[in-house]
Every structure is written in structure tokens, then in C-alpha cells.
Amino acid sequence: MKTQRFWTALAMASLVAIASGARAEDVHTPAPDNDAYAPAALTGTLAKARDTGAIAIGYRDASVPFSYLDARKQPIGYSIELCKALVAAIGNAVHKNLNIQWVPVTPETRIDAVVDGRVDLECGSTTSNVERQKRVAFSPIFFVAGTKVMVKKGSPIRSFRDLAGKNVAVTAGTTNEKALRDLDRKFALGMHLQVVPDHAEGFARVASGQADAFATDDVLLYGLIAENAAKGGAYQVIGDYLSYDPYGIMYRKNDPQLAQVVRDTFQQLAADGEIERQYKRWFLQRLPSGKSLDMPMSAQLESIIETMAGGESQ
């Protein structure tokens, strides 16, 4: 009962607090053609898009299935499709076809990249929280994950308490790193944290035996296991959630015109069912690697999207 109350509160509070919008190349509902943004009156990111004819998207190279590179080294994923949708909506708002400039980011560089203008939208697997909202703005929630631990099958590690004295890889600049450090202090576990630059390196540390475990969001762990299945090795995700992490698309603060486009577009995508279609594409169908995560949408995310479709995030 306590868990259900937590998720209900999270869904409602997050939708009130965070703004967003997006739309993919194959979105069925037209993006808002908002004539309120007359070219002469544009400001912020919309003015930049009008003047340059482009939007810079920050992408990740190993956040399966949200934002990662395919065999041709092109960014793909659930978050990428939502950001492509948002680019289409921004194009309609400024009455211009916009190009996408792809900019690689890491967990450590992604927030600064948004703040200093190197990217206009950060499209990965980024947790929206109060601390980060002091520096950047976030879209409405489009996924809810939580920190868990991956180990090799046969490992004696079954819960976070078994991490005492173990080598544990965690990605730098993530909420997972903070969760692990807090856990280590609270329970005096004496973990040996290996702070790695990206999720792929964390997985590789466990595969090579350099680390006993890798901690990150559960969905990313399942994605990495699926993408690496052909390389051999058997892995499993164990234990309880160590944190709860709602994902959003980052963009610059104090940009009310962009925030409005984001809110309007996300509301339409939710109402049209496009967010649900994209979810099925990336979480229930086969990925380009041939594997599937087979991860049905949680009741919590269903509730968030239903509320978003009703426009209650505005």
C-alpha cells in the first residue's frame, strides 16, 4: 500500500512540476501549428531554431533502449523518437523545416551541455529531480526507472547488503552514483566504487571480472544484457530498488515559448496514443539487435500518461 501511495504521489507531483513536448518522424498526430509564435516575436530556443534552421540534440551512445547507436552509428531509441517529435513541433511553431545536429553527451557533460547551449534538447535517460531542476527544465515524465544491481549469474550477491567490501561499478554523474554513496554511508558497507564514464564501461567491468556488480537504472541493465547477449556470458538483475528515477527530456530554463511547445506536444502525443505506440516499439518488440526487453508498461507510467493526455500537466 505504501508503494502504491508513493507512485501515485510521484505521478501527480511530477506532472504538475515538470514541462515537456515531443514528436517522432512517424507520429500520427500533427504537431501543434501554433500561430502565437509569429517569427518577429520568437525568443530563446525558438528564435535560435528560426535563425539557424537547426536544433542540437544531445544523445547517449549506450542507454538502451532510450538513446544509443545502431550498427551504422546513428542515434536511435525511445527518447530519440520523442525528441524527433519535438523537433517537428518546433519546426511547425517557427514555420520552418529544421535539421538535427547530433551532439554526443555523457552523464557528466549532459547538464552543462544544455546550460551552455551546446545542445537544445538532451535526449537520453536522465532523471528529473529537484536538484537538477535548479539548472535546467524538464519535459513531463515519459518513463520511471529505479536503481538496481547487475551481476554475473551464479554470483553470491543477492541484495545490496551483499555488496559489502565488493567492487561495484557505477556511472559518473548519475543519480545511481549518489544512491550508492548514500547507501554505503548509511549501512557502512565499505564498497569499493569504480566510477566509470558510461554504462557500456560499467557492463564491461562486470563482464571482465574487474567489478563484482554494476549499479544503474534497472531498464538500462536489461537493455545492456539484451544488446550483449550474442557476446556470451550470463547476467542477472538482483535485489530491491535502491532509488526511484523519473525520466524527462532536458532543455534550458527560462524559455517559456519552448516550454509551451513541449507541453502542448507531449499532451497531444499522449492523447493520440503515440507515446504508448513508441513504448511498445522499443520495449515489447525486437530491437535492431534482434532481442526484445519484453518489458510491459508499468501501471505507474500508464497513470502518468493518462493524466498527461488529459492536459493535467499544464
CATH superfamily name and code, 2-142+248-309:
Periplasmic binding protein-like II (3.40.190.10)
Going residue by residue through the chain, which has 314 residues, state the pLDDT in tens, using 9 for 90 and above.
433 333 334 344 443 343 333 333 343 434 445 444 444 599 999 999 999 999 999 999 999 999 999 999 999 999 999 999 999 999 999 999 999 999 999 999 999 999 999 999 999 999 999 999 999 999 999 999 999 999 999 999 999 999 999 999 999 999 999 999 999 999 999 999 999 999 999 999 999 999 999 999 999 999 999 888 878 779 999 999 999 999 999 999 999 999 999 999 999 999 999 999 999 999 999 998 888 999 999 888 999 999 999 986 54
What are residue 147's phi and psi, to 5 degrees?
-70, 130
Which one, of 123, 107, 113, lies nearest residue 171 by Cα?
Answer: 107
CATH class name, domain 146-245 = alpha beta
- Distance, in Å, from the CA atom of 177 to the CA atom of 21, rounded to the nearest integer, reads 28
Which part of the chain is CATH 3.40.190.10? 2-142+248-309, 146-245
Instruction: Give residues with Cβ within 8 angstroms of 212, minimum separation 6.
Output: 151, 155, 157, 163, 166, 167, 168, 206
Instruction: Give residues with Cβ within 8 angstroms of 32, minimum separation 6.
Output: 89, 92, 93, 261, 264, 265, 268
